[in-house]
Structure 1
Amino acid sequence: MSDLKKSILVVEDEPTLSAILCEYFEHYGFHAQSLDDGALVVDFVKENMPDLIILDLMLPNRGGLDIYRDIRTFSHVPIMMATAKIEEIDRLIGLELGADDYICKPYSTREVVVRAKNILRRNDVSTLVEQKDLVINDLAMTVTYHQQVLTLTPAEFKILAFLFKNSGKIYSRDQLMNHIYNDQRVVADRAIDSHIKNLRKKMADVDPSTDCIRSVYGVGYKFDV
């Protein structure tokens, strides 16, 4: 991580928990801020652009799911979603929201900080790859195709970036799932097919002749150079 302090936004309406979490982040060299009102979050993120968000699901005035969806319309900032129910995490995964991590209360504050550091460390690996009118920027999590920015979900971005950087190699659904979901969560294998279908459509909207993500029958997918 750079010498510049990374900013963490803790969205949590339990004041004691929020204060402890912010204190831990500050202790480990981060700049931490907190909000306890769901209605304030989206505007705050637009104005301050934090490097990572800890987002509780149950908030006054506006729920975490609605906040998450709104943020994803303008930012790929890493988001760790927090809930008091393990069953809620299963439901979130089923919705394929694409959050960077999920944590269940009561959680270890130290573990949250470690997991946040790991997410930020991955995002700090700045890579700009360009080929076939496609430009992928890992640091900014942006994809430009024929000079047009593609609006992708985090899962779609990870799949495209991975296949693109490993052009010509064939990867099974399981391999792609392991790359996207590295926390051992259980996800339906057809989720990859759905992400690929969405990627193809978004690229075809820019260039109808696009045919670079190929299906290899009975094996998986590859990016054609």
Structure 2
Amino acid sequence: MRVLIVDDEAKITNVLSSYFEKNGDYTYIANTGESAIQMVDQVPLDMIILDLMLPDMAGEDICQYVKSNYDIPVIMLTAKISIDDKIKGFEMGADDYVVKPFHPKEILVRAERLLPDSHKKQVITLGQLEIYKDERKVLINHQSTQFTPHEFSILLLLAENPKKVFSRDDIIQKIFGFDSDINPRIVDQHIKNIRKKMKEDYIQTVFGLGYKINEKVKQE
């Protein structure tokens, strides 16, 4: 599980990071709202632990941004205890709401309970498409289809975030790395190759923006 911990208190981020990493998870830390959003856009995440009171941005606004663009569970952390605050948090899309102080093990348990079944099983199903993440294997109509490593990574990125439109630059950063000097048209060629290997149009072109999973394809 790849977890982003967003809090401006180093003590909290360090303790939570330690618990998750001992559990075998990967953690990323952001101390401001701006850095949190940058991390969300740059790193494929499975879970976000989000403090509501940050120095530069309201946690509710960050949560709303995440939920508008990604399918990532969000656990809100806050010192606010009123029912109105909790309702507001859930209205912004929070999947869980924990009031400080808390035990870090509680956060770990809550995060594991929220993890989607597709991540637990390491399989994503989209119509007749099955993506096995650990094995880096793709089945279409139950038939194995070969993809290059970059093709597989691009397909997985889109499938894990079906609400998100990824620009060419987004895909280059996430698949090839921040410092990669790659012609953006290479992404178009990879998308073209992926489409050739599929009978259905699983990847949609959003004119002027980039690529995303076709919402007409049923996700199970």
- Please give the TM-score of this superposition, normalised by the length of structure 1: 0.53
Q: Among residues 77, 84, 89, which one is paired with 2:72 in the alignment?
A: 77
Match for residue 30 of structure 2?
A: 35
Shift, 1:36, TM fit = 0.8
Distance 2:55 2:106 in 1: 26
Q: Secondary structure at the match of 2:54?
A: coil
CA contact (8 A) 2:79 2:100 kept: yes
Corresponding residue number in structure 1 for 2:89: 92
**How is 1:195-206 mapped onto 2 (pairs within 5 angstroms)?**
none
Higher RCO (CA-CA < 8 Å; seq separation 6+) = 2
CA shift in 2, pair 1:32/1:127, >3 Å: closer
Identity among equivalent positions (%) equals: 31
Number of residue equivalences: 140
Q: How far apart are the structure 1 equivalents of 2:125 and 2:62? A: 30
Query: For the Cα contact (< 8 Å) 1:9–1:50, is it kept in 2?
Result: yes
- CA–CA distance in structure 1, aligned partners of residues 95 and 40 of structure 2: 17
Q: Separation in 2 of the partners of 1:72 and 1:114?
A: 22
Q: How far did 1:105 drift?
A: 0.9
> Mapping of 1:10-29 within 5 angstroms?
10-29=5-24
User: Are residues 71 and 141 of structure 1, via their aligned partners in 2, closer, same or farther at CA, if it must alter by over 3 Å?
Assistant: closer
Question: Contact (CA 8 Å) 2:52, 2:58: kept in 1 or not?
Answer: yes
Pick from 36, 39, 48 the counterpart of residue 44 of structure 1: 39
2:160 to 109, 120, 140: 140
Q: Compared with structure 1, are the counterparts of its residues 33 and 128 closer, same or farther at alpha carbon in structure 2 (3 Å cutoff)?
A: closer
1:149-160 mapped onto 2 (5 Å cutoff): 149-150=214-215
1:109 aligns with one of 97, 104, 107? 104
Partner secondary structure for residue 21 of structure 2: helix
Match 1:128 to one of 113, 125, 128: 125
Q: Which portions of structure 1, spanning 4 or more consecutive aligned residues, are displaced by more than 3 angstroms?
A: 139-143, 146-151
Query: What SS is found at the alignment partner of 1:72?
Result: helix
Deviation string for 1:14-62 (max 9, x for gaps)? 1111111111111111111211111211111111122111011110111
Secondary structure in structure 1 of the residue aligned to 2:115: helix
Match of 2:210 in 1: none
Which whole-Å deviations, capped at 9, do the CAs of 1:119-150 have from their partners, x for residues lacking one? Answer: 2253424463649xxxxxxx73748xx97744
Deviation per CA, 1:137-179: give whole Å up to 9, x if none: xx73748xx977449xxxxxxxx97xxx7xxxxxxxxxxxxxx
5+ residue gaps, structure 1: 1-5, 132-138, 152-159, 166-225
Could you tell me how far 1:85 is from its partner in structure 2? 1.7
Q: In 2, are the aligned partners of 1:83 and 1:89 still within 8 Å (CA)?
A: no
SS of alignment partner, residue 68 of structure 2: coil
Q: Check 1:119–1:63 CA distance in 2 against 1; reply closer, same or farther (3 A cut).
A: same
Cα RMSD of the aligned pairs, angstroms, is 2.9
Which amino acid in 2 is paired with 1:36? N
1:66 aligns with 2:86: no
Q: Deviations over 1:158-207 (max 9, x none)?
A: xx97xxx7xxxxxxxxxxxxxxxxxxxxxxxxxxxxxxxxxxxxxxxxxx
Cα displacement (A) at 1:112: 0.4
